[in-house]
Amino acid sequence: MTHFARTASFSVDLDGVDCYWRIHALPGRPDPSIRHVILRRCLPRFAELFARMGIPATLFVVGSDVQDDAEGRAGLASLAASGHELANHSQSHLYDLVRHPRAHIASEIDRAHGSIGDCCGRAPTGFRAPGYEISADVISLLCERGYAYDSSAFSSVPYYAAKTLVMASMRVRRQPSGSYLGSPFILTAPTEPYHPAAGDPYNPGNLPIWELPMAVTPALRLPVIGTSVVMAPEWLRHRLVAGALRRPFFNFELHGIDLADAEADGFPPALIARQPDLRRPLAQKRAALEATISQAISAGFVFKTLVDVTRDLQRGRNS
C-alpha cells in the first residue's frame, strides 16, 4: 500500500428497515410508521456523535430512501453541507446485485447517483455494494463513471464462515433468507487499499479506482465493524480495535441501525427477535462507538472521509 499517515474513516451504511425485513425474510412488509426510522431517528444520533467527537464521516445512501423521504433528505443535505460525505449505496439495495445483468447494475448505480447528487449539490464519487458483494461488472461500471473509490471488500474469514454456516442451516430448515453468499475469493483480497485488476476485483491491478477494504484484525482477520464493536464485551472490543489499529488505515464501517433504540423507535418484535443488536441498549451502543473513536484518536489516527483518504492515497502514489 502507498504509505500515508495514520488515518481512520467512520462510514455508515444507511440501510432502511425494508432491507432488514428482506434479509430475514419476514412476512409482508414493515409498518409504514417505521419505514424511514433510520434516516429520521438514527441518523440524527450519528450527527450528534460526529459533532461531539469532532470527526467527519462518510454516509452510504440508498437512492430510493432519498427520493421517498423529504425529512431524511433534508437531514442528509445538512450533514453534507457541514463537511460530511454522501456516497452511493445503490438505488434499491439488492443483496444479490452482482447476479443481475450489467444494464440493471448500471441502473442501480446511476439512479442513486442522481438522487444523491440532487440532495447534496455534488455527485458522489464513492460506492459501497449491498452486502459487501462486488464483481468485475460493478467495478468496471464505477470506473466508466469516474468513481474515485469502492469500499466493499470485507476480507474476514470468520465473518464469511459464519455467514456460510447460518445460510446453510437455514436452507436445511427450509427457512427463507434474503441474504446472498458471494464469491469465496473475497478471502484472498488485500486488507489494505489497492487498485483492483480488470476482471478480478479481489486482486491488485491497474484500474484507476481505489478499493478501500473494511477493517479486520491482522492474522485471524476478525471483523472490526459496527456490529462486532457494539456487541462485544468491553475487553474484547478494545482488543479488536487495537488489532485493527496496527495498520495505517482504519476503515470503520457501521450501519444506521447501530444507533437504533428498538423500543423508542418502534421496531416490531419480529425484527427485534431476528436482529441481536436491536436488543442491545442504545446507551451501551453509543458508549462503545465513542470508546472506539477515542481509542483511534489516542493511537494517533486522524479521521477523514473516504473520498479524502482516496485523495491522500493518490497524492502519495503520484509523489
- Domain map of the chain by residue range? 7-318
| Spatial contact of 66 and 90, defined as CB atoms under 8 Å apart | no
140-184 pLDDT, tens digit each: 999 999 999 999 999 998 888 877 776 677 677 777 666 777 788
Q: What is the CATH number of domain 7-318?
A: 3.20.20.370
HSE-CB at 252 with a 13 A cutoff on CA atoms is 36
User: For the chain, what is the mean pLDDT?
Assistant: 93
Low-confidence ranges of the chain (pLDDT < 50): 1
Q: What is the pLDDT of residue 5?
A: 81
Long-range contacts of 41-44 (CB under 8 A, 24+ apart): 41/260, 41/261, 41/264, 41/265, 42/256, 42/257, 42/258, 42/259, 42/260, 42/265, 43/14, 43/72, 43/75, 43/76, 43/79, 43/256, 44/75
The residue type of 90 is: S
Q: What is the pLDDT of residue 160?
A: 82
Q: What is the pLDDT of residue 204?
A: 97
- Kindly give, in sequence order, each residue whose CB lies less than 8 Å from that of residue 108, ignoring residues fewer than 6 positions away: 90, 91, 92, 94, 97, 100
Containing H/E element for 274? Answer: helix 269-274
Q: What is the pLDDT of residue 167?
A: 67
Q: What is the pLDDT of residue 319?
A: 64
Containing H/E element for 12? Answer: strand 7-13
Beta bridge partners of 88: 61, 127
In whole angstroms, what is the distance from residue 71 CA to residue 76 CA? 9
Query: What does pTM read for this prediction?
Result: 0.95
129-151 pLDDT, tens digit each: 999 999 999 999 999 999 999 99
Distance of CA 223 to the CA centre of its chain: 13
